[in-house]
Structure 1
Amino acid sequence: MALLRNADRTLDGPWEMIVTGPGACAGPADLDALAGFIPAPVPGTAAGALRASGRWSEAAPTPLHGSDIWYRTTIAGQGREILRFDGMATLGEVWLDGRLLLSSRSMFLAHEVAVDLDGTHSLVLAFRSLGQDLARPHKRGRWRPQLATPGSLRHARTTLLGFMPGWCPSVDAVGPYRAVTRRGERGRPTDIDLRTCVEDGTGILTVRLTVPDAADPPTLRCDGRGTPLTETAPGRFEGRLALPDIALWWPHTLGEPRLHAVAVESGERTFDLGRVGFRTITPLRPFAEGLSLAVNGVPVFCRGACWTPADLVGLPDDREAYAPLLRLAVEAGMTMLRVGGTMLYEAHAFHDLCDELGILVWQDLMLANFDYPTEDPGFRAALEAEIAQLLDRLQASPSLCVVGGGSEVEQQAAMLGFPETVWRAAAVEAMLHEAVSARRPDLVVVPNSPSGGDLPFSTNAGVTHYYGVGAYGRPFEDARRAEVRFASECLAFANVPEPVSLAEAGLTDPRDPAWAGGVPRDRGADWDFEDVRDHYVGALYGVDPAALRRDDPARYLTLGRAAVAEVMEATVAEWRRPASLTAGGLVWLWRDLAPGAGWGVVDVAGRPKSAWYALKRAFRPVQAVLSDEGLNGLHAHVLNETDRPLDATLALTFTAAAGKVAAKAERSLSLGPRASISLSSATLLGRFFDATVAYRFGPAAHTLAHLRLTGADGTVLAEAFHFPSGRDAVPQEIGLSADLVEEGRGVALRIASARHALAVHVALEGEGRPSDNWFHLAPGGERRLALIGTQGRPTGTVRAVNASEVVRF
């Protein structure tokens, strides 16, 4: 059952902390002889407290799993209270006045204990050495994954963060990383079960709860309407409130994520039960044919990224930590974030913000790669409690839409050659279905990520981790050939941060041996994800990346940033075509876990990389894309995902290298809400033109095709580019210019180019960023960019990959 949030008081100390040897202190009494306690925020981690005290560094993280960590504070009060511990990593103990109240072996379970207070008391939390626990003899699994080590982690309910060499720093998560709170035992509702659904356009709100000492039946209120609750047992009440014509909750690109406050009135008291949203989530086809979702009956192309914690060291759980990153996701047009099984369950604030911002959440169980001992009664009971707490905690969250059984458990076993009887995670799937049916029947269950085909990683079934374009070095055409149905992971590259972030990290030269420390790799592989990026640099620009890295490292990094942006846009454009089978694509990974060229599309400092800007363009709710259909010509696709009609002008222009127009067409379009249209180049031009240079009747008449969608007010809504003969990145004079212009109450950056400009990129001096970056300009084209987070009159430079000039502004 859920808790009445915002009613508990945070037990924020002050707390202090000390690190001891494993087993050095049997209990709190042994702490009195020790010196060296430091202040420690709660919620927080030991690494975070040590970092704040100058005793811990990301550059050389101190191992903590081999030690015992102790926290202590005092608590004052009178009478019985409930102490709640929302998350203790990982082998936790709670002591009050030297008496052991609680022992926990799971980082993912919350615990409550009743205490009788009479004055001031000593509260101590102990976190015993996880390293020693993992080192003791354990039953081995049927397979040993490459992802994480040691193998005994299969028995532990702790995050794999810090245990995955090659792509995650060795930062040990230890401590009370979620809130410690207190509340009185009586006088407020408890055991709250709050649910929403939509039936024929009517929102249905149901509640079951206990209200101690209620003189009269309480009243449930929502959206200005109410209904009295019925007492079904002493102090236990339930009721159902029908809300005709309730405003529905939508992902932010499709509509407004409307939330409605819920309260219970009991006598003179009003209890805030938080906010709820009303929406439906329905699969559009059988899972075996590929996951595809509709929200409120409207098909959604789910696009976004796989989430990473806001700070790997401190594991913060407040709105201030989550909000900037989630707003970047909204700005980029992301409609879904997946919290994968290698991470950890995020705090209430994360889900509250996703509810408010209209971001769908795919939540995995914290299971990944290992052969988990689900046959062990103790492990199974702990996992069942974990699932129940998760679903109860998020029982009214409209953004939660998919719950998955973990990450790459089935894939790991299948890739090692085991038959389906071994790799199928049937026990966890059954457990999850049962819990979802009982607690959140509105959710979609995914057995594992990936899963659903004859092999769990088949691209044309269920959900897949698609790395054809990417790690496997496949050409762009593979994104269509693979018939991807839903990519719950895709497009992993060693994404290079912007120069300012590299300078802060002291990683400005890719030839420096320290550079490799920020580049992710799969353990045991003889290649890393920089090799993947380099492959596409060579394929797109016809250069030797190794030679370029040696001779011109700055140019090497520039082309690396540009190549990733090209691959991201091209792949998503393929998947968003109206005729595409693909219903979703979640990029691996949202944010870097360490400084350097990590998987993140946002770097460790929270700054967008070239990949983020590319996705922002690729994910636009009003979008125009081009697809090369070979002998059938070039096809233009226009999508209006919004709930508003679209009146626009579509222009398709073919130009030669110097900018001379070889062919041009323009057409007015009217699209209804959530509608799309596809038009061939022949239809637009009204005649034959070798738009894809497929017929090869003599030299090509053009080197660039440019599609532009313009709104009724003249605003450019979307652009797309096609390069039939490849991308010429040789620097030359292209007539690039840039200047600041007054716009509203501030300034904007106007960029223009006489000839085609490839991968135009802006570098601001000081803080701030442009609204777009790493984009193309057509010959004679112009863009106006808002400058975000700048002070005064900003300065900087504008460059293009194919421009010899460097423009200062």
Structure 2
Amino acid sequence: MSTLLPIAGTTVTALDAGWRMAVAEAGAFGRPSDLDGSLVWHQAKVPGTAADALADAGLFDPARPEPLHGKDIWYRTTIRPQRPGPHRLRFEGLATIAEAWLGGSPILASSSMFEASEVDIDLAGEAELTICLRALQPHLAKRGPRARWRTQLTPEQGLRLTRTTMLGHMPGWCPSIHAVGPFRPILLVRPGSLAAEDLRIDARLTEEGHGELAVSLKLAGIVPHLAISCGGETSAMREMPDGRYEARLTLENVKPWWPHTHGTPHLHEVVLEAGDERLSLGRTGFRRIEIDKGEDGKGFALRVNGTRIFCRGAVWTNADLLRLPGDAASYRPLLELARDANMNMLRVGGTMVYETAEFFRLCDEFGILVWHDFQFANFDYPVSDPEFAATVEREAQDFLHVTQGSPSFAVACGGSEIEQQAAMMGVSREKWQGPLTQEILPAACARLRPDIAYVANSPTGGAMPFSPNEGVTHYFGVSAYRMPLEDARRAEVKFAAECLAFANLPEAATVERHFPPGPGHSPEWKALIPRDRNTGWDFEDVRDHYVEALYGVKPLDLRYGDPESYLDFGRAVVAEVMEAVFAEWRRAGSRTAGGLIWNFRDLFPSAGWGVVDATGAPKSALFALKRAFRPVALALTDEGTNGLYAQLANDTADTLSFRLEISCLNGGAVPVASGALDLEIAGRSSRAVPVTEVLGAFFDATYAFRFGPPAHDVTHARLIDAASGIVLAEAFHFPRGRGAAMHAARLDVRCETGAGGNAVVVLATDRLAQSVHIRADGYLPDDNWFHLAPGSERRVTLRRLPGTDHAVSGEIGHLGSKERFSYSAG
């Protein structure tokens, strides 16, 4: 099902004004005529949720949510058509058990949050539209076909029978903010003389570099001359045997769409010509998506336009758990953060909601690949029930229609952790998979998005579905399972669709705003730390483990006696771990082809899994990932008695020339060995360079041979663009550990006024300063939580954020010193 295209006089009006909402006891009122004066009505936004409307009225606290799935939620508004006559009402998404009436007459009954509904109506004038979202709780108590396993993700096993989001139903993951309401638009469509719908756009890039475009749609009414134009080419549409109209175009040597890390995400407008009318069908891009499993069939890599792409990014979390928005204004600032952090892929997991056309349009524009799970996770779903299977098919069709023509959509996945949950519960291998992910969903993709890759489940492959050395995995060896950093290589990860979960600490401004007593002194702090259900540990414990492992300090002692340092070490360690793991995965010769962090954004203020906090501010982890994900990247890897290697990656299409400089420093200040090497790196390739080749002679940079006491405590590498002299990347290695290289460095700081209200902080140091962190309330640094080496200045741009009306000022600190260095503009 797809919305009518606005041609030949067809008008589409969003019913987004004049809505009121009321909460009633479950089953208290059967129909609108039963409603009485006992209900209290509140203004409500549509699209929106009941929780959001109640929060606006001061009756709902997202930090202490009261369950809504045991209530009936009523919405009503008045429709005022421009002209009387036949219309169509389209409900893009109602959460979840919904009934609707027009003027008191029933017009709709819906039981899926993920299925759009359309109703033909005849309007003589104004009419009242009433919607009731029935209490979900009774439906969750229903019993269906016997499940072969029970998930540990949620105690509400009835969710397997009801097509609704798992958000709000996963203890330890997110608060119990239940999705109730018309969370997607409600549209009033007045058909014109020509009804056009069921639009399909298939855009592909051939191996010869040509763009092939196929556009088809259904038409009803008087059909004028129809044609499709794109990229300067036009083709008439012709009627096909099935009654659809189709046009095919070939654009020779078209500019292809690339992930932004590897090229330009070129987009081309598609225009429908209907008689004298021209209607934009949106923009599309030409690219080719393939899965490469390697010669042994055990790998997993994504090829775009024939090029193997190292996919890096995060698992996407909704822009706002309270509102569940789907508009571009809500998405844009978050997706800009992802793009600017050099992420080239976001995955929408099976525990969320289907994302909207606006989400995909922005990812198209920004060059961000999308891996999108169908909204199935962990459960044994009853697809043997014909009615349930039909609901799944309609749901899949609705979602795939939304994505028509989107080049960013790269991978559709049957769901999240279904195979894993079955395997972990001891279910035999032949029962891990079934018709849902092996037949119904891939068939829908083949029909409606044949240009994308399909993966049955995440994770999948290997001796166990979650085995990291084959197929797609969810890798938490480093992080949740407290493995040493070396496990990132030992595990032989092929593609991590989830990885590296920590309780990532927000920056100071967010902590101070939401937890004034501070961590360890606020009773709410620990309660909001994410944890897996029924475990005796949480992800703050995991983070603390790595603080001790990497720095040799006792987190519990810091938390008791020096809470500020406790926070600083916690922020620093997740940044260090993430950079180290991706250095392993991106090194030359690695078979790892991707890693997506669990996850992108916190759903509420806390030290959550997100690398962006609930206010939209980056955390230390995001800055680390920005460095690790650079298209032109540098890292240092310890190869034991093979020595230290500089790992260089060039994702751009061009061969680039660099100067690689290496300095081994004693006391973080005195060079005991140094050298430089001029080199070239071919486009879209990686290269490993032995540090001894740069130094020109043997030097035990990894301290593997132990010939006497170590001569240095840090190795610093810089990659400098040969043409401009600009430092493109830096990397550090600590042969005796980070704790042994902790110095009370003195920072020289000055602040310069930049363009557009921005500022620039200029830093220099007398010796290595680890994890330098800049506080700049109201401004966003372009880098933070980075190491600063002596010998040169570092310039950090501070971008003024919207709404900031004060000049920049703040403090700068680093690990190893309690001293803070103040700065201000002017």
TM-score range with shorter-chain normalisation? over 0.9
Residue 453 of structure 1 aligns with an amino acid whose one-letter code is G
Q: Is 1:450 aligned with 2:497? A: no
Q: Is 1:24 aligned with 2:28? A: yes
CA distance in 1, matches of 2:13, 2:737: 62
CA contact (8 A) 1:507 1:514 kept: no
CA distance in 1, matches of 2:474, 2:517: 32
Q: Is 1:62 aligned with 2:66? A: yes
Shift of 1:79: 1.1
Q: Out of 251, 271, 289, which is 2:259 matched to?
A: 251
Shift of 1:191: 2.4
Shift of 1:236: 4.2
Range that drifts further, 478-487 or 448-457: 448-457
Q: Out of 765, 778, 781, which is 1:753 matched to?
A: 765
Q: Deviations over 1:73-103 (max 9, x none)?
A: 1113311111111110000112111111111
Q: Out of 700, 704, 709, which is 1:694 matched to?
A: 704
Shift of 1:352: 0.9
CA contact (8 A) 2:204 2:286 kept: yes
CA contact (8 A) 1:486 1:582 kept: yes
CA distance in 2, matches of 1:371, 1:236: 37
CA distance in 2, matches of 1:81, 1:789: 47
CA distance in 2, matches of 1:658, 1:303: 32
Shift of 1:32: 4.8
Q: Out of 768, 778, 786, which is 1:775 matched to?
A: 786
Q: Out of 749, 755, 758, which is 1:738 matched to?
A: 749
Q: Is 1:587 aligned with 2:593? A: no
SS, match of residue 165 in structure 1: coil
Q: Is 1:796 aligned with 2:810? A: yes
CA contact (8 A) 2:759 2:799 kept: no
Range that drifts further, 584-593 or 670-679: 670-679
**In structure 2, what is the equivalent of residue 542 of structure 1?**
552
CA distance in 2, matches of 1:710, 1:518: 43
Q: Is 1:501 aligned with 2:507? A: no
Q: Out of 221, 225, 230, which is 1:222 matched to?
A: 230
Q: Deviations over 1:588-628 (max 9, x none)?
A: 01000111100000000000000011001100111111110
Residue 779 of structure 2 aligns with an amino acid whose one-letter code is G
SS, match of residue 493 in structure 1: coil
Shift of 1:441: 1.5
**In structure 1, what is the equivalent of residue 199 of structure 2?**
192
CA distance in 2, matches of 1:102, 1:660: 76
Q: Is 1:328 aligned with 2:337? A: yes
SS, match of residue 383 in structure 2: coil
Shift of 1:216: 3.7
SS, match of residue 189 in structure 1: strand
CA distance in 2, matches of 1:672, 1:421: 45
Shift of 1:808: 0.6
Q: Out of 98, 101, 106, which is 2:107 matched to?
A: 101
CA contact (8 A) 1:758 1:801 kept: yes
Shift of 1:141: 1.8
**In structure 1, what is the equivalent of residue 211 of structure 2?**
203
CA distance in 1, matches of 2:4, 2:683: 39
Shift of 1:517: 2.1
Residue 431 of structure 2 aligns with an amino acid whose one-letter code is V
Q: Deviations over 1:224-279 (max 9, x none)?
A: 22111113369842121111121111111111111111111111212221111110
**In structure 1, what is the equivalent of residue 279 of structure 2?**
271
Specify whether residues 215 and 675 from structure 1 end up closer, same or farther in structure 2 by C-alpha distance, changes over 3 A only.
same
Specify whether residues 26 and 792 from structure 1 end up closer, same or farther in structure 2 by C-alpha distance, changes over 3 A only.
closer
Shift of 1:641: 0.7
SS, match of residue 40 in structure 2: coil
CA contact (8 A) 1:317 1:349 kept: yes
Q: Out of 761, 774, 782, which is 1:762 matched to?
A: 774
Residue 602 of structure 1 aligns with an amino acid whose one-letter code is V
Count of aligned pairs between the two proteins: 808
Residue 236 of structure 2 aligns with an amino acid whose one-letter code is P
Range that drifts further, 12-21 or 486-495: 12-21
Residue 220 of structure 1 aligns with an amino acid whose one-letter code is I
Residue 736 of structure 2 aligns with an amino acid whose one-letter code is S
Q: Is 1:15 aligned with 2:26? A: no
Specify whether residues 453 and 45 from structure 1 end up closer, same or farther in structure 2 by C-alpha distance, changes over 3 A only.
same
**In structure 2, what is the equivalent of residue 111 of structure 1?**
117
Residue 811 of structure 2 aligns with an amino acid whose one-letter code is T
Residue 205 of structure 1 aligns with an amino acid whose one-letter code is L
Q: TM-score, normalised by structure 2?
A: 0.95
Q: Is 1:89 aligned with 2:95? A: yes
What stretches of structure 2 of length at least 5 have no aligned partner? none
Shift of 1:713: 1.4
CA contact (8 A) 1:502 1:508 kept: no
CA distance in 1, matches of 2:390, 2:290: 30
Residue 142 of structure 1 aligns with an amino acid whose one-letter code is R
**In structure 2, what is the equivalent of residue 163 of structure 1?**
169
CA contact (8 A) 1:470 1:492 kept: yes
Shift of 1:546: 1.3
SS, match of residue 458 in structure 2: coil
SS, match of residue 815 in structure 2: coil
Residue 256 of structure 1 aligns with an amino acid whose one-letter code is T
CA distance in 2, matches of 1:730, 1:481: 26
SS, match of residue 34 in structure 2: helix
Q: TM-score, normalised by structure 1?
A: 0.97
Residue 649 of structure 2 aligns with an amino acid whose one-letter code is L
Residue 762 of structure 2 aligns with an amino acid whose one-letter code is R
Shift of 1:293: 0.7
Q: Deviations over 1:495-552 (max 9, x none)?
A: 0000100111125522122111220000111110001000000001101111211111
CA contact (8 A) 1:507 1:515 kept: no
CA contact (8 A) 1:4 1:273 kept: no
SS, match of residue 694 in structure 1: coil
SS, match of residue 463 in structure 2: coil
CA distance in 2, matches of 1:288, 1:368: 26
Alignment of 1:446-485 (within 5 A): 446-485=455-494
Shift of 1:51: 0.8
Q: Is 1:570 aligned with 2:580? A: yes
What stretches of structure 1 of length at least 5 have no aligned partner? none
Q: Deviations over 1:393-425 (max 9, x none)?
A: 212110001011111111111112221022234
Shift of 1:662: 1.1
Shift of 1:149: 2.2
Q: Is 1:786 aligned with 2:793? A: no
Range that drifts further, 788-797 or 53-62: 788-797
Q: Deviations over 1:618-641 (max 9, x none)?
A: 001111111100000001111111
Shift of 1:60: 1.5
Residue 180 of structure 1 aligns with an amino acid whose one-letter code is I
Shift of 1:792: 5.2
Q: Out of 658, 663, 678, which is 1:668 matched to?
A: 678
**In structure 1, what is the equivalent of residue 57 of structure 2?**
53
SS, match of residue 126 in structure 2: strand
Shift of 1:212: 3.9
CA contact (8 A) 1:736 1:805 kept: no
Shift of 1:446: 1.0
Shift of 1:134: 1.3
Identity between Structure 1 and Structure 2 (%): 48
CA contact (8 A) 1:108 1:158 kept: yes
Alignment of 1:514-663 (within 5 A): 514-663=524-673
CA distance in 1, matches of 2:85, 2:241: 27
Specify whether residues 583 and 647 from structure 1 end up closer, same or farther in structure 2 by C-alpha distance, changes over 3 A only.
same
Q: Is 1:280 aligned with 2:288? A: yes
Range that drifts further, 130-139 or 663-672: 130-139
CA distance in 1, matches of 2:358, 2:508: 32
CA distance in 2, matches of 1:268, 1:217: 9
CA distance in 2, matches of 1:220, 1:300: 32
SS, match of residue 201 in structure 1: coil
Specify whether residues 670 and 730 from structure 1 end up closer, same or farther in structure 2 by C-alpha distance, changes over 3 A only.
closer
Q: Is 1:301 aligned with 2:301? A: no
Residue 366 of structure 1 aligns with an amino acid whose one-letter code is Q
Shift of 1:34: 4.2
CA contact (8 A) 2:3 2:90 kept: no
Range that drifts further, 429-438 or 443-452: 429-438
CA distance in 1, matches of 2:50, 2:123: 28
CA distance in 1, matches of 2:94, 2:107: 14
Q: Deviations over 1:346-391 (max 9, x none)?
A: 1211111111111000000111111111211111111111112212
Residue 796 of structure 1 aligns with an amino acid whose one-letter code is G
